[in-house]
Amino acid sequence: MHFKDFSDLAAVDQLQQVAGTPCDLTRPGLLSADRFADYRMSSCGFELLYATQRLDDVVLDGLQALADEAELVDKFCAMKQGAVMNRIEGYESEERRVLHTACRDIFREQPGYPEAAAQARQQLAALQSFLQDLEDGTIVNHKGESFTTMVQVGIGGSDLGPRALCLALTAYARPNRAVRFIANVDPDDAAAVLAGLDLSRTLVNVVSKSGTTLETLTNEQLVRTAYEKAGLDPASHILAVTGEGSPMDDPERYLASFYMYDYIGGRYSATSMVGAVTLGFLLGYDRILDLLAGAHAMDQAAEERDIRNNMPLMMALTGIWNHNFLGLPTLAVLPYSQALIRFPAHLQQCDMESNGKFMTRQGNPVRWQTGPVVWGEPGTNGQHAFYQLLHQGTEIVPAEFIGFRHSQYGHDLEVEGSTSQQKLIANMLAQSLALALGRSHENPNRYFPGNRPNSILLADRLTPYSMGALLALYEHRIVFQGFCWNINSFDQEGVQLGKVLATRILAEIIHQDRNGEVTSANDSPEKDLLRQAAVSGRE
Amino acid sequence: MHFKDFSDLAAVDQLQQVAGTPCDLTRPGLLSADRFADYRMSSCGFELLYATQRLDDVVLDGLQALADEAELVDKFCAMKQGAVMNRIEGYESEERRVLHTACRDIFREQPGYPEAAAQARQQLAALQSFLQDLEDGTIVNHKGESFTTMVQVGIGGSDLGPRALCLALTAYARPNRAVRFIANVDPDDAAAVLAGLDLSRTLVNVVSKSGTTLETLTNEQLVRTAYEKAGLDPASHILAVTGEGSPMDDPERYLASFYMYDYIGGRYSATSMVGAVTLGFLLGYDRILDLLAGAHAMDQAAEERDIRNNMPLMMALTGIWNHNFLGLPTLAVLPYSQALIRFPAHLQQCDMESNGKFMTRQGNPVRWQTGPVVWGEPGTNGQHAFYQLLHQGTEIVPAEFIGFRHSQYGHDLEVEGSTSQQKLIANMLAQSLALALGRSHENPNRYFPGNRPNSILLADRLTPYSMGALLALYEHRIVFQGFCWNINSFDQEGVQLGKVLATRILAEIIHQDRNGEVTSANDSPEKDLLRQAAVSGRE
């Protein structure tokens, strides 16, 4: 496998030559029936409509050449088969395999990396057994009552993905089961969540891969104290999901323990036990299998070499076209589904933590743009908020719409001749067209320039299966882009400096708090800032 | 008052000349005790620390000259006194005054625009009386029970601001009072909210300034149907907040009606009845007055001409420095407070809908960048998510941190020698420094380039008063920037085209649904897209 710099690829040169005059979406007749039919693909229950991207067959051929020259699919397949993709050549780095796909590689006889798939099966079996014990009354509280709530305590990858999925699938929740989340070290986060709970009927799922995450351990301690104050035994209520051998791997302190492995990055861990335990409590075991089946189907579909038949690859490359060739620095993800309200926040992490990098896999500074700023909110809400800028602002924002033909609950009503679901989907399609086509008008303030690139993802309904496919689709889009930019999408060295400085500032706060004065050593920016901030953090 | 184009201002020229070599925050000794002390201001209980912006006294003098030449404070004062600021000269436009400040101009004898202040007082008196009736049992349900929940039905400005404020202040909620929100036309939004409620003890507050908002009227109908199905009289449960004379201004259909006026834009309406009714239900009337007092204090402080003493003006101008002179297209708002979880979403609307414009107040295309993409999530959560890109990405993102010295609930615990609140604030300060200073390292992947501009807003505690001040601070920052860019920050013509196309597509969906075929007229992009999307929206 060759890892070439992005700017050294011949296909990049070729694309650069056509990028100055991208396809004009406002040209009358361009958005024709043929174009809509041609620039469309299907995969795992989703259709991707990309006629409203600023590209044509020349660009698509160039993007195919880019995918081929950068060996994106080869690298993806190697990743699934256990290549050590999380590394920087020649420097100290994590040196790990990248095998989140193994979490769902449980449906075929010859998985991509059998050892990891076996561990996934093992953990799933343990989860199934635990859920069954809850079901049949083997595990109950001290009064013999069933548990009705699970609180997941985790942060970053141990929070955003699982939270987004739980919110997305609440419509399928089992009766009398609810989930909550505590992430922030802000003590008000735990206080607000715990205020509304009957602790005696609550399980707490503490999730930290390293078993050393400051926020999570602090919140675990807050929760344990709350149980003790309520006269309850924490060890009968608290579960752990952690790496084998981590400081949290101590089954005596927990009602149950589940494992994740060092080949699963936090932001890619939603289909591991990091997400599956709380999701399993909420939805039941069978629906977890549906979620995994959807993700696995997309894992397989991403091995296709033709970009017109590989949805995550197509999304990766159109993203690169918009970002590197058309020069657009951000990306809006706009689900027309209230259930996906926190999916953009999950993607924001998964994408920006993966591809917000400025060193190549060989440790050289990149000479091209890497990951964009990813953000978004559900439609139609956003239409009444930031869409003004999308249509008429000076910043051009590529948009990815996500919609479903049917609602989850099916509680709908016809008002003025149409259902809410019909209004919802009509609005999504309308926004895609409005951004692309624009509109001329004699009042300059009512003129729309158009040529705002976007695409639409459509499926029948948001279910565990389609949610799994959607999650994997975005995971792979991100990974393909990282390979193309020749960066390591699997580490996060950029979070370390803040931790170092926080430790120093915290030590100074503690010192000042105890002694009423700054430490005796010389001034430093930390002490100077702290003096101006006048912070102690004591109540 | 003169409205000059941004690019014609002499101060812009001068700033452009120094923008090529902005202050290097990584230079040893630059971030000194003196700099931290000098680049700091206080207002209405907040400190703004801006030593970590890439500017020096020359730039600050240039920004002061820019504020003076563009007459930003004069325009702001004129706005508060009723100037018709919502207009485009020479073209059909809304031609309205902009008087959201009047909603809180109730504390002095000579308000800026007495007629609007009198209307604010009148509405507040009506709200006080309504809340008192709930309190003393004058208004109860059909069984004589008190109401425990209020559901606000609204979208955009009638949702984001009120929702952000309710979440921010839930720690101060009255016993047995809770609020929920329905915004999206997605039928799953209402279904999920209604699923968890006892309708008999719930009030519904329907908010639409125009009384014609599609999503809101549809959701009102869904809610009315739910009441009828439950055998309850909707008119005994549903309130209205709307413009006087709007189609919703029909007190017979509602338990109570409150008014807003056409001089209050939706995205600036959180301190009008649009926010006050639901907040009043949650917090009680006196706390609404605290919120208004905080906002009013900031309204007054924003009249100061010296940018070093006018916090919203300073934030507006440093934002312009970063956006127009340093070329940074986005802005991250990062509250270190879980209670502010939706405040960035509110700002995203308020900022991007106000300043996502490309025509001047005279109807000419702008020749400079207007509003940035605004986004953000609470810390420390974000540190485990997108901060990787902030520190080591190729996109440089200016950041605004917001923190508080004390928590709201005060339920804290010492773990490893420090409280959670101390950890929280130490992390915020550390991130500010890490972004600015960077760090050299022999391992290129552990090198941090620094020079990421940012600022810190600090107050003692998030209370109704400080929340009011914070809200107004950002409102005015946005308005000052709009004046500086010579755009109309108060209209939203950019949302119209999507509505027109949605209506056409919806008509086509209804036709196809009824007749099983497309309408007979010629093809159009709408029909072609609809054919490929294969949408009907029927269950």
Chains A–B, number of C-beta pairs less than 8 Å apart = 566
Distance CA B105, CA A29 (A): 54
Burial B39-54 (b: 16+ CB within 10 A, else e): bbbebbbbbbbbbbbb
Is the bond preceding residue A380 a cis peptide, omega within 30 degrees? yes
> What values do phi and psi take at B313, rounded to 5?
-70, -40
Distance CA B216, CA B401 (A): 34
Asked if B319 and B481 count as a contact pair (C-beta separation under 8 A), the reply is yes
Burial A479-495 (b: 16+ CB within 10 A, else e): bbbbbbbbbbbbbbbbb
CA angle at residue A476 from A472 to A478, to 5 degrees?
Answer: 120
Distance CA A132, CA A129 (A): 5
Helix (H, G, I), strand (E, B) or coil at B241: strand
User: What angle, 0 to 180 degrees and rounded to 10, lies between the N-to-C axes of helices A464-484 and A160-169?
Assistant: 150
Helix (H, G, I), strand (E, B) or coil at B273: helix
Ranges of H-type helices in A415-495: 420-437, 464-484
Contact A420 B445 (CB under 8 A): no
Asked if domains A6-91+309-489 and A105-293 share a fold, the reply is yes
Among candidate residues B397, B5, B413, B41, the one with its CA nearest the CA of residue A225:
B413
Tokens of B451: 């020079």
At a CB cut-off of 8 Å and minimum separation 6, what does B403 contact? B335, B336, B337, B424, B425, B428, B456, B457, B458
Site from A94, A167, A394, A504 to mutate, B interface, most B CB atoms within 10 angstroms: A394
Burial B85-112 (b: 16+ CB within 10 A, else e): bbbbeeeebbebbbbbbbbbbbeeeebb
At a CB cut-off of 8 Å and minimum separation 6, what does B244 contact? B259, B261
Task: Examine the residue annotation and report whether A80 is marked as an active-site residue of this protein.
Answer: no
Per-residue pLDDT of chain A (539 residues; tens, 9 = 90+): 889 999 999 999 999 999 999 999 999 999 999 999 999 999 999 999 999 999 999 999 999 999 999 999 999 999 999 999 999 999 999 999 999 999 999 999 999 999 999 999 999 999 999 999 999 999 999 999 999 999 999 999 999 999 999 999 999 999 999 999 999 999 999 999 999 899 999 999 999 999 999 899 999 999 999 999 999 999 999 999 999 899 999 989 999 999 999 999 999 999 999 999 999 999 999 999 999 999 999 999 999 999 999 999 999 999 999 999 999 999 999 999 999 999 999 999 999 999 999 999 999 999 999 999 999 999 999 999 999 999 999 999 999 999 999 999 999 999 989 999 999 999 999 999 999 999 999 999 999 999 999 999 999 999 999 999 999 999 999 999 999 999 999 999 999 999 999 999 999 999 888 887 777 667 799 999 998 898 876 66
Tokens of B509: 């969906």
Check B384, B414, B416, B517 and give the catalytic one: B384
Contact A505 B389 (CB under 8 A): no
Which ipTM was obtained for this model? 0.97
Contact A387 B337 (CB under 8 A): no
Distance CA B463, CA A64 (A): 55
Check A75, A100, A296, A353 and give the catalytic one: A353
Distance CA A189, CA A163 (A): 15
Task: Examine the residue annotation and report whether B499 is marked as an active-site residue of this protein.
Answer: yes
CA distance B107 to chain A (A): 31
Tokens of B396: 């440089």
Distance CA A369, CA A481 (A): 11
At a CB cut-off of 8 Å and minimum separation 6, what does B126 contact? B256, B258
Burial B510-523 (b: 16+ CB within 10 A, else e): bebbeeeeeeeeee
Among candidate residues A144, A187, A410, the one with its CA nearest the CA of residue B338:
A187
Among candidate residues A299, A297, A252, the one with its CA nearest the CA of residue A45:
A297
Task: Examine the residue annotation and report whether A2 is marked as an active-site residue of this protein.
Answer: no
* Residue B198 buriedness (CB in 10 A; 0-12 / 13-18 / 19+): exposed
Contact B437 A338 (CB under 8 A): no
Task: Name the closest residue on chain A to residue B415, using Cα atoms.
Answer: A218
Give B439's Cβ-side CA count (13 Å radius): 22
Domain regions of chain A by residue span: 6-91+309-489, 105-293, 494-533
Q: What are the DSSP calls for A362-394, one per residue?
A: TSPBPSS--PPEEE---TTGGGGTTHHHHHH-S
Distances (CA, A) of A525 to A520, B38, B434: 14, 14, 10
Asked if A468 and A294 count as a contact pair (C-beta separation under 8 A), the reply is yes
How does residue B535 score in pLDDT terms, banded at 50, 70 and 90?
Answer: confident
Among candidate residues A156, A188, A218, A151, the one with its CA nearest the CA of residue B339:
A188
- From chain A, the residues in CB contact with B405 under 8 A are 534-537
Among candidate residues B13, B472, B61, B491, the one with its CA nearest the CA of residue B306:
B61
Question: What CATH number is given for B105-293 in this structure?
Answer: 3.40.50.10490
| Residue B353 CA from chain centroid, whole number | 10
What integer pLDDT is reported at residue A348 of this predicted model?
98
User: Residues B316-356: pLDDT tens digits?
Assistant: 999 999 999 999 999 999 999 999 999 999 999 999 999 99
What integer pLDDT is reported at residue B539 of this predicted model?
66
Asked if B111 and B117 count as a contact pair (C-beta separation under 8 A), the reply is yes
What integer pLDDT is reported at residue A520 of this predicted model?
65
Asked if A483 and A72 count as a contact pair (C-beta separation under 8 A), the reply is yes
How does residue B537 score in pLDDT terms, banded at 50, 70 and 90?
Answer: low
Report percent pLDDT > 70 for chain B.
99
What integer pLDDT is reported at residue A1 of this predicted model?
81
Contact B446 A188 (CB under 8 A): no
* Average pLDDT over chain B, rounded to an integer: 96
Tokens of B345: 């979403």
Asked if B459 and B47 count as a contact pair (C-beta separation under 8 A), the reply is yes
What 8-state DSSP symbol labels residue B145?
P
Tokens of A157: 């990858």
Select the residue of A359, A393, A505 nearest B429 (Cβ to Cβ). Answer: A505
What integer pLDDT is reported at residue A537 of this predicted model?
66
At a CB cut-off of 8 Å and minimum separation 6, what does A419 contact? A412, A413, B187, B537, B538
The model's pTM is: 0.98
Distance CA A480, CA A316 (A): 6
The yes or no reply on domain B6-95+302-491 and CATH 3.40.50.10490 is yes
At a CB cut-off of 8 Å and minimum separation 6, what does A79 contact? A85, A98, A99, A101, A479
Beta bridge partner(s), residue A281:
none
Ranges of H-type helices in B452-538: 464-484, 496-515, 525-533
Check A2, A143, A229, A384 and give the catalytic one: A384
What integer pLDDT is reported at residue A523 of this predicted model?
78
Helix (H, G, I), strand (E, B) or coil at A459: strand
Asked if B104 and B119 count as a contact pair (C-beta separation under 8 A), the reply is no
Helix (H, G, I), strand (E, B) or coil at B213: coil
Contact A493 B445 (CB under 8 A): yes
Check B353, B377, B400, B475 and give the catalytic one: B353
Distance CA B322, CA B396 (A): 10
Helix (H, G, I), strand (E, B) or coil at B215: helix
Select the residue of A225, A369, A388 nearest B352 (Cβ to Cβ). Answer: A388
Class of domain A6-91+309-489 as given by CATH: alpha beta
Contact A444 B364 (CB under 8 A): yes
- From chain B, the residues in CB contact with A433 under 8 A are 501, 525-526, 529
What integer pLDDT is reported at residue A514 of this predicted model?
86
Around Cβ A103, how many Cβ atoms within 10 Å? 30
Burial A310-329 (b: 16+ CB within 10 A, else e): bbbbbbbbbbbbbbbbbebb
- From chain B, the residues in CB contact with A36 under 8 A are 528-529, 531-532
